[in-house]
Amino acid sequence: MQKLNNPWLGHFALVIWAILNVYNHWNLWSWDASALYFGAYFYDLGQFGLVYSPQPTFFWGENAPAQWVELAQSQGAVGDMSPYVYPPIWAAVLAPFVAKVTALEFFNLFRIVNTGAIVGSVYLAHGLIRPQRVAFSIWALVSIAVFQVTTIGQLSVELNQPQILVTFLMIAAFFNLSRDRDALSGSILALAAAIKIAPAMLAVIFIMERRWKALAVFTGVGLALLAASYALAGADLHQALLVRLRNLGDQVMVSPIVVGLEPVLLQAQNWFTANPDFTFGDYLSVPEPVWISLTTKLCLLAGLALSYVTTRGLPDDLRIWFRLLLVFLITLLTGPLAWVHYLILPLFMLPGLITLARPAVAWVVIVTFGVVFSARVLVALFAYSWGANAQVFLSFTVVAGLFGALLIIARGLQKAT
């Protein structure tokens, strides 16, 4: 047991994992990273109408514009493509680089960046809680194990998802907030929000914490990045992004790898009205009923209120840890794109429960999370016609249960202090 307390074991394990991860995925087609490459590629050619797909139904790799299909085939694609749904500034910034490399070369380089972000996230998540009651080596080994066995980790890596880099930035922002580096915290979160808009919701934590400097810097840097984006890419591409986001926001994503409230409510509505017209294995996007949109917004407000009330009496570092995880979970659960691989942020932070909860409770939560989201469970369930539905409802229940368990643990710690 003494050997497990040696931090060098954790450092060594992370280095070995990083090397193997890059080696095992070298020269592989990256579904989600393809969006960055394709968007930048067409920006470089001056074909701005193809940066954001003119096909509003292009989301699942189907209905892709002919030019995208042609480019993918010319680059030796062995997998699907993902549409570009990021702010246009990144297409403009990446365009000169993309013009000089092939898709696979870009994917390889981006995989190195993402692998570094995964390792960095483990270090930052461990450092977010002070004082420690769990050795870094144990934290690192638990993180690697859960990352490897779950669809959360496997999908993130296989897709080469930009969410990995964004997760690193989100954790880094609040790591710095816990160190009273408010300006740096606000700047990093603004950068994360400039890559994927959803992290902007985490700025509500600055309000909860009354860290007005961090909020002001977040706003200022965010506006500066927006201005730079307009200056580089022009208004038309920003309008195209807004149209694309509006289309996505008006739809409910039907897929076995979603964990949000929207698809659960939609399927429940179908069952109660005797109209089960889809299963989650169908991979669809369905128009969102108004009542579901209103319900998710109310749940978001209620979740944010509970996150604030149940954590306000905690010490600073613990309070920030809880609020980051709680606000992230409630915004994911009530958001329009609640993909399972977005759960990498809670995955990295889960070992913190060993510090914050009774060991038995912590391990039950960690093991349950790992088992429910394990790739083996996913494959086993898909052998049945009802398996995709069971996976989605089980995933939602576990994520919502984790949110509830965190509230209970935070409440208990607050009473203890």
Q: What is the structure's pLDDT at 33?
A: 92
Q: Which tens digits make up the pLDDT trace of 361-392?
A: 899 999 999 999 998 888 888 778 788 888 88
Average per-residue pLDDT for the chain: 89
CA 236 to chain centre: 28
CB 206 within 8 A of CB 222: no
Whether the model pTM is above 0.85:
yes
Q: Which tens digits make up the pLDDT trace of 120-135?
A: 999 999 999 875 667 8
Q: Which tens digits make up the pLDDT trace of 187-216?
A: 999 999 999 999 999 999 999 999 999 999
Enter the tokens of residue 390.
């069971």
